[in-house]
Amino acid sequence: MDIFIQQVVSGLATGGIYASLALALVMIYQATDVVNFAQGEMAMFSTYLAWSMLQAGLPYWVTFFATVAIAFLGGLLIERIVIRPVENAPILTIVIVTLGLLVILNSVAGWIYSYIQKPFPSPFPSRPIQLGNIVFGAHDVGEISVTLIVLLLLFLFFRYTTLGLAMRAAAQNPVSSRLCGIRVSWMLGLGWGLAAAFGAVAGMMVAPVVFLDPNMMGGIQIYAFAAATVGGFTSPLGAVVGGILVGVTENLVGTYVHFIGTELKLTVALAMIIIVLLVRPSGLFGRTTVRRV
Amino acid sequence: MPALLEAVDLEAQYGWTKVLHGLSFAVEAGGITTILGANGAGKTTTLRAVCRMVRTSGQVRFDGQRIDSKSTEDIVRLGIAHTPEGRGTFINLSVEENLRLGAYARRDRTGLAEDYDKVYGYFPVLAQRRRQQAGTLSGGEQQMLAVARALMSRPRLLLLDEPSLGLAPLVVREIFRIVRTINQHERVSVLLVEQNAAIALDLAQHAYLLETGRVVMSGPAADLKKDDAIRRSYLGY
């Protein structure tokens, strides 16, 4: 029984990582109707910037917030410079552009920082928290808390602020939005900025666990996609629940189904994507659009 | 009365195709003006040209000020509300959120609460469906929502594109009755584009008839109603 609970707990920890990146994916999807394949790489790049600042001797939390701010501007610039020219192009074009961005960011990071893994500090204490026979890593608890705080902020922003409402409107119906006076093009830029900022948070939370290297987000991005699909691409809460479900399932299946073990873990994520798409394409929390004509 | 909106030699094109060929028209302050015409005459494009949602040339003046090189977002801020063809509902958002978006561009946010009440007063059915996803409303309710959303911006000019489209006659009559009330009580001028010439000529004081992007006839609505050619081609008796 202890083993089971311990596996669930460590599943929660990895799930938190997937959730944080899935949150950024869902965020950009909600704000711009685009799935951003470069999300993971943008997060990775921001984390390298944070690493540079730490190397220069800045304290952790200063670095943290500075990185989030820089990532926001970076996301905004990427939208203005790279995405905007193809704003009205077919969805496939935009997807290919984000894939191109993925490759570019990955290579540039490798070129500047090399492909050698670097350690990245955690802001949380290293002493694990013990409850009976179950051990919680302090970083895991901290990272899940950060993800939940981000989720709460996002929820409040989209639900209760006029700007959040305008962003949702701009993504859904650009023509009507312009007629309401919403500057649609800037809303898309803002969406990219916010997603990049949350991606940066995810990156800085992930890096202490997986170590910093240009490919650190590769696998996680796939899990994040699984998480977003399971939760439903239209729901930030779904992304978090999806992330945790994927993390826990992956861990339990890896432990108890022997032919899967650690080697076939990633397959579990892909299988979950397929099963969800077959059984409930809108995901657990996704909203299906009801339309009367 | 002075003209609130005035277009001189207005042209518009989609890609290489010119759709409006030098249109001139005016909307009187406080009045209702209608543009009639068959399918493809350029009625919708005329409204889109006023809001600069198509490529245009020629002059458009609103309250004496040139607006023909402004962006759509800025034109809306000057007090022109456009209820587009197909109603432009935000189908995934609630009725109330749709109305909040209508008020988005408003600078003066005083009296916002009263405006919600007023709009819900005009359209009680929307008040009942306040929290409902707007996509689940019926066609008539969505048309009401579109007018309500436009009103939330406190416009001085309302551009209405085919409010009768696809609706039952009873619903159409209800909507036109409310448009008339709004025109009189809120002193909102209206530029109405309609295929249903009979009902539009009843409502408007002034009318223009469009054929393939040109004005072929204009005058007081009462005169156009009596015109033999109009009666045969557009009123159908």
Mutate to test the interface with B, among A88, A162, A172, A176 (most CBs of B within 10 A): A176
Quick one: pLDDT at residue A74?
96
Quick one: pLDDT at residue B46?
94
Residue A29 pLDDT more than 90? no
The region of weakest confidence among A86-90, A110-114, B228-232 is B228-232
Give the domain extent around A78: 19-217
Residue A16 pLDDT more than 80? yes
Assigned domain for A23 exists: yes
Long-range (24+ apart) CB contacts under 8 A made by B145-148 are: B145/B87, B145/B89, B145/B95, B145/B98, B145/B99, B146/B83, B146/B84, B146/B87, B146/B88, B146/B89, B147/B83, B147/B123, B147/B175, B147/B178, B147/B179, B147/B182, B148/B98, B148/B99, B148/B102, B148/B119, B148/B122, B148/B123
Task: Tell me the mean pLDDT in the region A148-159.
Answer: 86
CA distance A273 to B234: 57
CA distance B163 to B140: 9
Q: Which of B76, B82, B92 sits opposite A172 (nearest CB)?
A: B92
CA distance A259 to B74: 63
B129 φ, ψ to 5°?
Answer: -105, 20
Q: Which of A46-50, A113-117, A136-140 has the highest mean pLDDT?
A: A46-50
Assigned domain for A46 exists: yes
Quick one: pLDDT at residue B210?
92
For B166, nearest residue in chain A (alpha carbons)? A293
When pLDDT is cut at 50, 70 and 90, the band that residue B117 belongs to is very high
Assigned domain for A145 exists: yes
Contacting A residues, span 221-260, partner chain B, CB-CB under 8 Å: none
pLDDT tens, position by position, B48-93:
999 999 999 999 999 989 999 999 999 999 999 999 988 999 998 9
CA distance A244 to A237: 11
Task: Tell me the mean pLDDT in the region B32-44.
Answer: 91
Task: Tell me what percent of the residues of chain A surpass a pLDDT of 70.
Answer: 98
Residue A19 pLDDT more than 60? yes
Task: Tell me the mean pLDDT in the region A61-80.
Answer: 95
CA distance A138 to B155: 57
A203 φ, ψ to 5°?
Answer: -60, -45
**Structural domain tally of chain A?**
1
Quick one: pLDDT at residue A291?
52
Quick one: pLDDT at residue B100?
93
Assigned domain for A247 exists: no
Assigned domain for A249 exists: no
More confident residue, A287 or A54: A54
Assigned domain for A43 exists: yes
CA distance B229 to B208: 14
The region of weakest confidence among A162-176, A193-207, A260-274, A279-293 is A279-293
Reported pTM: 0.82
CA distance A12 to A81: 38
Sign of the alpha-carbon dihedral angle for B135, B140, B146, B150: negative
Cα B23 → chain centroid: 17
Quick one: pLDDT at residue A289?
58
Bridge-based pairing state of the strands B206-211 and B32-37: parallel
Asked if B154 contacts B106 with a C-beta cutoff of 8 angstroms, the reply is yes
- Give the H or E element holding residue A281: none
Quick one: pLDDT at residue A47?
95
Q: Which residue has the tokens 């350690």?
A: A119
Quick one: pLDDT at residue A293?
46
For B195, how many CA atoms within 13 A lie in the half-sphere containing its CB?
13
ipTM: 0.90
Whether residue A165 and residue B101 make contact (CB cut-off 8 A), yes or no, is: yes
Assigned domain for A180 exists: yes
Q: Which of B82, B92, B100 sits opposite A179 (nearest CB)?
A: B82
List C-alpha distances in Å: A198 to A47, A135, A211, B52, B141. Answer: 12, 28, 19, 36, 39
Whether residue B90 and residue A176 make contact (CB cut-off 8 A), yes or no, is: yes
Residues of B in contact with A179 (CB under 8 A): 51, 72, 76, 81-82, 84, 88
A180 and B CB contact within 8 Å: yes
Query: Judging by beta carbons within 10 Å of its beta carbon (0-12, 13-18, 19+), is residue A19 exposed, middle or buried?
Result: buried
Query: Mean pLDDT in chain A?
Result: 87
Residue B225 pLDDT more than 90? no
Q: Tokens in use for A67? A: 């990185």
Superfamily of B3-235 according to CATH: P-loop containing nucleotide triphosphate hydrolases (3.40.50.300)
Q: Which of A162, A173, A178 sits opposite B72 (nearest CB)?
A: A178
Quick one: pLDDT at residue A43?
93
User: How far off is chain A from B211, nearest CA to CA, in Å?
Assistant: 26
Q: Label residue A226 left, alpha or beta by phi (over 0 means left) and psi (-120 to 50 means alpha).
A: alpha
Q: Which of B51, B88, B93 sits opposite A168 (nearest CB)?
A: B93
Quick one: pLDDT at residue B15?
86
Task: Tell me the mean pLDDT in the region B98-127.
Answer: 89
Mutate to test the interface with A, among B47, B54, B73, B96 (most CBs of A within 10 A): B73
Task: Tell me the mean pLDDT in the region A206-224.
Answer: 88
Quick one: pLDDT at residue A185?
86
B27 φ, ψ to 5°?
Answer: -115, 120
A160 and B CB contact within 8 Å: no
Q: Which of B97, B104, B133 sits opposite A181 (nearest CB)?
A: B104
The type of residue at B70 is K
Nearest-CA neighbor of B236 among B197, B208, B199, B209?
Answer: B197
